[in-house]
Every structure is written in structure tokens, then in C-alpha cells.
Homo-oligomer: A and B are copies of this chain.
Amino acid sequence: MANEVTLGVVQFACTDDADENVATASRLVRDAAACGANIVLVQELFEGLYFCQEESPAHFARARPLDSAHPTLSAMKALSAELGIVLPVSLFERRNQAYFNTVVMLDAGSDLGLYRKSHIPDGPGYSEKFYFNPGDTGFRVWPTRFGVVGVGICWDQWFPEAARAMALMGAELLLYPTAIGSEPGRPDFDSMQHWRTTMRGHAGANLMPVAAANRIGTEHVGGKTQTYYGSSFIAGASGELLAETGRDGEAVLTATFDRARLAADRAAWGLFRDRRPELYGVLATLDGGPD
């Protein structure tokens, strides 16, 4: 594995035309690679509109098996091979009777396997429990040519358990493809800083870079409207913002890391040395355990 790694994050607005979205994603991924990015993060479910705004049986038709006939996966595989980059690809997966919100990890065109979103949200505008089975893969990290990469998907980014699990499994970078924005019925509510702060906390606690790629734009789905707040970012190993962008424009962000230095700092801090798993039993409960 290379020691120096440049992480790229792209941000754009999606339409309901998959070909157009794949073309936009490809253009921005090429831009990131031209800026030196070895790993490029694209937002969640970028093939189309964020259909989870509404609960409609029609949207299940968007899911496909993740096989060699999958047009977006094939296009991304070719792009990953051509550019020699690591490229996590977020897709709506169908397998037999199950539907998952899934990331496939590509490394220079090789398919390293998949991760299925573990934490599934449900609330106005984010009706994911209607569509997705809770992921059954557990957390995954992948040794790539540019370091060990862990990926969580959107709602996973709020859970310290997910970040910590990936860190314990050897992750050196944590990536979160995302779709988040306005909340229906709450026009004055904005979670952007909360969203960033929580992930920057994962970076600080796990002493490793964390990045999120979020969509932008206003989308109309089934008579509903939602605006995604972008604000994609790359945080360093102390949770500091190294690269960030705004709520509106298309963007390509990059940041470069020295993996050996990050690993040395993680060891010297002693946070992974001083954990007390024998005291963490309560984390395996939902309600704090027996009284």
C-alpha cells in the first residue's frame, strides 16, 4: 500500500435520469483524480432522486441485483480501473426478496465486496425503513492499495458504534456517502452543524480522517419537496475541518494524508491501548440493561 494517500470528495445535484447522474458523477470523479485523489467518495444513492421522501411501492423498481449487468456498477468499475482509484459506489440493491442500501467497494476496477447500511432511519422525508432491510453484513473495512478504508452509509454516520467498530477493525479512513437536508414541516430546522460536529467527533475519538459526501439541490418526489444541504467535508484526525464546501455548488474536495504518521499518532495517543471492553457490556443493550 502507498503511504501517502489523497482523499477526494465530490458533491452534486441529482436528477431523475440515471445516465445523467452517472455522467455527472464520472465527470467529478475524473476532476478529483486529476487533483491527485486516490480514493474518491461520491454521495449516497446518486443514481437518482432521493426517493425515500415518500413511501411508494413504485420505487422498489429502482433496485437491481449487483451483478455484471448493473449499468451504473459497470460504469463505475470501468472508471475505477481507468483512473486506478478506490471508488465506493452507493446503490439500491435487490437480492431475492431483500432490498438493501449498499456500497460496493471498487479498487482499480476490482470489486472488493459490499457493505449494507446497518442503521436505517425513519421519519418525515427519510422513510428508509419502508424500502431497506437493515443491513446484514456488519461493519466492513477493506485493505485497498491506498490504505484500509471503512465506509458507513448516511444514518450510520450518527452512530459512534459504527465508527469505532470500523476503527477497531483496522480502518485508517472513514467515509460516509450521504443524503441529508431539510425536514418536512420544520422549515426553521437545520441539522448541518450537528451533522458535521458528530462526524468530526468520530474523527477526533478514533484519531483518523472522516469524510462525508452529501447531495445538493431541491428535489420533488411524489408531491413532496426537499432541499439537500451539501456541506460535504473532509476532517483530519483531530476532527479539524481540512476541506469543506457550501450548501449549493458542485464541488471537488481533496486532502492528503501520511498514513504512517497517522498510525504513529494513533499508537502514541494510547486511546486504543486504554479501552476497557469488560466495562462496555451496556453497549450491547438498547435500554441500559437490567436494573
Q: Mark A121-144, 1 if CB is under 8 A from B, else 0.
A: 111000000000010001100000
Contact B198 A165, beta carbon cutoff 8 Å: no
A158, B204: Cα distance in complex, Å:
8
Within 8 A of B (CB), among A185-199: 191, 193-194, 197-199
A272 to chain B, nearest CB (A): 7
A21, B124: Cα distance in complex, Å:
52
A283 and B168 contact, Cβ closer than 8 Å, known pairs A119-B274, A119-B276, A270-B121: yes
Q: Which residues of B contact A119 (CB under 8 A)?
A: 274-276
Out of B120, B164, B204, B277, which one reaches A197, CB within 8 Å? B204
Is A46 an interface residue when CB atoms closer than 8 A count as contact?
Answer: no
A229 to chain B, nearest CB (A): 14
Q: Which residues of B contact A34 (CB under 8 A)?
A: none
A191, B237: Cα distance in complex, Å:
12
Out of B159, B164, B194, B287, which one reaches A161, CB within 8 Å? B164
Is A288 an interface residue when CB atoms closer than 8 A count as contact?
Answer: yes
A283, B200: Cα distance in complex, Å:
20
Contact A138 B279, beta carbon cutoff 8 Å: yes
Is A260 an interface residue when CB atoms closer than 8 A count as contact?
Answer: no
Contact A165 B282, beta carbon cutoff 8 Å: yes
A172, B161: Cα distance in complex, Å:
19
Is A155 an interface residue when CB atoms closer than 8 A count as contact?
Answer: yes
Contact B240 A193, beta carbon cutoff 8 Å: yes
A158 and B283 contact, Cβ closer than 8 Å, known pairs A268-B123, A270-B123, A274-B121: no
A50, B256: Cα distance in complex, Å:
38
Q: Which residues of B contact A134 (CB under 8 A)?
A: 276
Closest to A194 in B: B238
Out of B164, B202, B238, B286, which one reaches A283, CB within 8 Å? B164
Contact B198 A288, beta carbon cutoff 8 Å: no
Within 8 A of B (CB), among A141-175: 155, 158-161, 163-165, 168-170
A60 to chain B, nearest CB (A): 21
Out of B120, B160, B282, which one reaches A205, CB within 8 Å? B160
Besides A121-B274, A123-B270, A160-B161, 11 other A-B contacts (C-beta < 8 A): A158-B205, A159-B205, A159-B274, A165-B282, A168-B285, A170-B288, A201-B239, A202-B205, A272-B286, A277-B285, A283-B283
Which 5 pairs between the two chains have the least Cβ-Cβ distance?
A201-B201, A197-B239, A160-B160, A198-B204, A194-B238
22 residue pairs bridging A and B, Cβ less than 8 Å apart: A121-B270, A121-B274, A122-B274, A158-B205, A158-B271, A159-B205, A159-B271, A159-B274, A160-B201, A161-B164, A161-B279, A161-B283, A165-B279, A168-B282, A168-B283, A169-B288, A193-B240, A194-B238, A275-B286, A277-B283, A280-B283, A283-B283
